[in-house]
Each structure stands twice: as C-alpha cells, then as structure tokens.
Structure 1
C-alpha cells in the first residue's frame, strides 16, 4: 500500500500542470521539474527549442537560471546525464555569454568568469583553435553535440534545447 501511495504522489506531481504548494514532490532533494545531477538540481528541456533569452526566461519561470559549469566535474556530470537521457546528440543553451564585453565570457547566474580552454571549450580542427571562435556574431554558450558536449559559442537567436539549474531564493 505504501509503495502504491508513493507511486500515486509521484504520478500526480509529474502530470500536474499546476505547481504544488511545496516546491518539492515526495522525497526529492530537488524541486519539482528538476533532477539531481552531481551537486546541482537541473532541468533538461528537449521538447521546446528557444532562443537564448527565451530559454533564460523559461528557466526563471521555474525558479532557475541557465546552467553554470564552474568546474570540470560539473561539465562531466552534465555530459554523462545527457548521455543517460539519450540526448547527448543535441545542442543545449547554457548560461555562458559575452554580450557587451566581446571575448570576456561570464556566467549569467553570478557574473563570474567562465574558464577558458581545456577541458571546457571545444577544440576546432579548422583552424586548430579552441572555441569560442564566433566573435561578435556568437555571444551565447552551448554544449556542442558536434564536439562531445564541450562548450562552443553560438548565435543567441538560434532556437535550441536548454538546461536550467535551480536557484534557491
């Protein structure tokens, strides 16, 4: 009976279009919509592709922000999570940007500097340089399916999948 009750609670939370009173459903460590990945609570959107700004607004609507990857472990954990979900062959918006300060990449969540080079940014074979290479035409960060999930820069107006992280307020 107890197992059945938890199953019903989980199903009700998963199918509900209205936010529950509590941010948490059942015994979860992360709020509704989010899954624990390493030390973060993340939401991976693959059903709706949006531009970077709209993706960011969607993250805000569920108490989140576009994903920050402060260290190599965070990048590895999210890359493995995308593989487990079967979506590692997709592009995903993350919270890196250099709008307004070309070449100086920052995280949108706390304005901290994005680590450059290996292991974060993809390595292009033509002309053998690390990303980002888009200059002022590509100011938003993605996890790049063509480069094993490493980061690249892209035009912020492209409609792509996105990853949110929960931001406790």
Structure 2
C-alpha cells in the first residue's frame, strides 16, 4: 500500500488504498462504489513513516509539510474532529495563504469541507484545533466572512463560480466532509 514510494495516482475507500505507478486513460481505478481517486503530480507522494503518517493512509504534501486525509463520509464539526483524533490528529489547519491555496486546488469543486478553525466560546476569537497558540490570520476569510450569528466553525470549498480562496464560517452541526491532519 504505497509504502514510501511515489505514485502518479491513488484511490481509496474507507481504510483501503491502492497506488498506481503507471497509468493509461483506458484503465479504470476500481470497481468499488464511493472510492476517491487522485491524480498526483511530483509534489505529492504517500509517505508511510514521515510525520506519523504510517498506518493511517494519509498523503504527505512535501512543499507545505502537511500529512492529510480526505474523508468522504460527512459529520458535524465536533464528530469530524473526534474522528481525526482517533487517527492521532485533528481537523486540517490552513493557517497560511500557501496552505489554503494548495488545498483549494486539491479539493473537488463545490464540495464543502470542515477545517480545524473554531470559535466555540462564541467570543469572536477564532482558534485552530492543533492546540498551537497561533493567532488566526483574518486575511484567510473569504470575502464578507465571518457573517453568521450562529456560525462558529470553519469550512472551505472551491467555488467554480468564484476563483477566490478563503475560509467560511458555518453552523457547527451541519454534516460536511472533512480533512484531517496528523
């Protein structure tokens, strides 16, 4: 399963992963319904040892030093963060423009994803779930965000109608896909 090797594509469903070292347009990835497929450039490779990725089927992005996993099931923000915790991690922290831009190009169009930003104290102080005391960079908000009275959790999406990047505030009980980081 992609142990310390480069791959041009991979697919996974739940805990199963398959890497493709060669690819032709005639190949089909898998017959498993609901599997996720990724074409990888030289920037991406599966890393089973570095940064605790081993055994979790996470992808390592060397240019931004992030080990992440895209979960296809949907959960509330708290449930998603708890699922990440079972892997030894937390919801993805997009605390720089570089990270935000990178993931904006990775996630599918018009799909909502939880990220590790929250204001659970409802005091206007947004914090990241990685327990670092890094102050939230307000320039990472999407235009006109935050905008809701009961929206205390962070979400990203790639809008086909608007190429700008940014984080949205949404109601924490929504059921969304999520990105974990270890």
Shared fold (TM-score greater than 0.5)? yes
Counterpart CA distance in 1 for 2:123 and 2:85 is: 25
When the two chains are superposed, the root-mean-square deviation of aligned CA atoms in Å is: 2.7
Larger RCO: Structure 1 or Structure 2 (Cα < 8 Å, ≥ 6 residues apart)? 1
The alpha carbon displacement at 1:144 in A equals 3.2
Question: Do residues 133 (structure 1) and 154 (structure 2) align?
Answer: no
Which position in structure 1 is the counterpart of 2:17? 14
Of residues 64, 67, 73 in structure 2, which corresponds to 1:41?
Answer: 67
Structure 1 alignment gaps of length 5 or more: 1-5, 16-24, 124-129
Q: How many residues align?
A: 135
Residue 113 of structure 1 deviates from its aligned partner by 2.0
Matched, 1:73 2:98: yes
> So what's the TM-score if we normalise by structure 2?
0.65
Structure 1 window deviating more from structure 2 (93-102 vs 105-114): it is 105-114
The structure that is helix-richer by fraction is 1
Gaps of at least 5 residues in structure 2 are 19-45
What do residues 8-64 of structure 1 show as CA deviations (whole Å, max 9, x unaligned)?
Answer: xx999638xxxxxxxxx8866433321012310000112x10000000111011111
What are the equivalent positions in structure 2 for 1:75-154 lying under 5 Å apart? 75-82=100-107, 87-110=108-131, 111-117=133-139, 120-123=140-143, 130-135=144-149, 137-146=150-159, 148=163, 149-154=165-170
